[in-house]
Amino acid sequence: MSEPNYKVPVGISRCLLGDPVRYNGDHKHNRFCTGVLSDYFEFVSTCPEVEIGMSVPRKPIRLVQLDDQTRALATDDPHQDFTTALEQRGAEYADAHPRLCGFIATPNSPSCGTFGVKLYLPNGHPVNKTSGRFTASLRANNPLLPVEEAGRLNDAGLRENFIMRVFTYHRWLNLRADGLTAKGLVNFHSRHKYLLMAHNYKAYRELGRLVADLSGNDMDALGDQYISQLMQALSAPPERGTHCNVMQHLMGYLKQQIDQQDKQELLRSIEDYRGGVVPLIVPIALLKHHFQRNRQRHQYALQQFYLSPYPHQLGLRSHIH
């Protein structure tokens, strides 16, 4: 269960790659996606509006609340309703790409937007915020898939959390591809324990109980339950305090090995992170340094994905304060 030496398949709204497919013939090129993430992700792009037959350029659409339904309608002609076609496209895309480990969406789009797309009343007044019809359908058809908007990837915490979830889900799909066994699930859980503890202590306890007794259980059903709870627990970034808690737990493995001076230095770096003085990578790097000095003894700690959730070259924890 090491990190892949090939790219991880991730879906993306096509205009983010720089393709001029927007309603106005423009694009929404995102340099972080094409310049950084493309080294790690194999992008599977889609422009749902083009794929349902809309032209470039085209009249824009918007989301309108009709009775208790959200409909995607042409702005200049409410009789042109694209809702069903966009939702079908979302279901087809989910079905065609079961190995996807994440999706990066264009914000504010009535098709691709995910978290804050404006919803209007028929008279044109904004009434609420919702999801675009394509991504709403994609998420309904693949609820485990980590989905994030490109704009939110500018936030260091959300960016790190999304990429961590993509790699975690990728490891899970690889595990399932080989057929889920009790041993495989226990090993997977064991290596994700501290990552889970940092995010959600309650889920850490519950999933620990779930894998404690696997005898006589339907492994497929149990696996579905496990990954559903795990991905839910990882959905929000950890608090600073829970990171500190986990790092102090990990320090416990070094008790017999480090002297008072090293111990003080490690504690100080954890407290400096807690106080916002240094980024998360500082105490993590120090912990790893001490574990690596005695690799044989610290196999268990070194195998924790909390310490290495994705390729370190991404440098994401250098920006987590």
Residue 304 has, within 13 A of its CA and on its CB side, a CA count of: 23
CB of 106 to ligand SF4, least distance (A): 4
149 vs 160 by CB, closer to ligand SF4? 149
**Which of these segments, 103-111, 158-166, 179-187, 265-273, binds ligand SF4 (CB under 6 A)?**
103-111
Q: What sections of 1-74 are H helices per DSSP? A: 31-35, 48-51
* Whether the Cβ atoms of residue 90 and residue 134 lie closer than 8 Å to each other: yes
Under the binding rule (CB under 6 A), the answer on residue 94 touching ligand SF4 is no
DSSP string, 259-306: -HHHHHHHHHHHHHHHTTSS-THHHHHHHHHHHHHTTTTTHHHHT-TT
**Which of these segments, 45-53, 161-169, 193-201, 301-309, binds ligand SF4 (CB under 6 A)?**
45-53
Under the binding rule (CB under 6 A), the answer on residue 150 touching ligand SF4 is no
Under the binding rule (CB under 6 A), the answer on residue 21 touching ligand SF4 is yes
Under the binding rule (CB under 6 A), the answer on residue 49 touching ligand SF4 is yes
**Which of these segments, 11-19, 230-238, 255-263, 280-288, binds ligand SF4 (CB under 6 A)?**
11-19
21 vs 207 by CB, closer to ligand SF4? 21
- Tokens representing 99 are 């190995």
Contacts (CB under 6 A) with ligand SF4, residues 50-69 = none
- Tokens representing 132 are 């675009």
Under the binding rule (CB under 6 A), the answer on residue 317 touching ligand SF4 is no
Contacts (CB under 6 A) with ligand SF4, residues 152-171 = none
* Whether the Cβ atoms of residue 198 and residue 157 lie closer than 8 Å to each other: no
Q: Distance of alpha carbon 225 from its chain centroid, rounded?
A: 18
DSSP string, 102-119: -EEE-TT-TTT--S-EEE
138 vs 210 by CB, closer to ligand SF4? 138
Under the binding rule (CB under 6 A), the answer on residue 130 touching ligand SF4 is no
Under the binding rule (CB under 6 A), the answer on residue 111 touching ligand SF4 is yes
Contact partners, residue 252, CB within 8 Å, separation at least 6: none
22 vs 199 by CB, closer to ligand SF4? 22
CB of 55 to ligand SF4, least distance (A): 12
Measured CA to CA, the distance from residue 250 to residue 253 in angstroms comes to: 6
CB of 137 to ligand SF4, least distance (A): 13
Under the binding rule (CB under 6 A), the answer on residue 48 touching ligand SF4 is yes
DSSP string, 177-214: HT---HHHHHHHHHHHHHHHHHH-HHHHHHHHHHHH--
Residue 173's SS3 state is helix
**Which of these segments, 76-84, 104-112, 199-207, 228-236, binds ligand SF4 (CB under 6 A)?**
104-112
Chosen residue from 106, 131, 161, 200 binding ligand SF4 by CB under 6 A: 106
CB of 303 to ligand SF4, least distance (A): 39
22 vs 192 by CB, closer to ligand SF4? 22
Under the binding rule (CB under 6 A), the answer on residue 135 touching ligand SF4 is no
Chosen residue from 47, 145, 233, 280 binding ligand SF4 by CB under 6 A: 47
Residue 20's SS3 state is coil
Q: Which of 216, 175, 213, 215 has the alpha carbon at shortest distance from 192?
A: 175
Report in angstroms the alpha-carbon separations of 236 from 162, 217, 232: 9, 30, 8
Under the binding rule (CB under 6 A), the answer on residue 112 touching ligand SF4 is yes
Residues within the interface to ligand SF4 (CB under 6 A): 13-15, 21-22, 47-49, 106, 109, 111-112
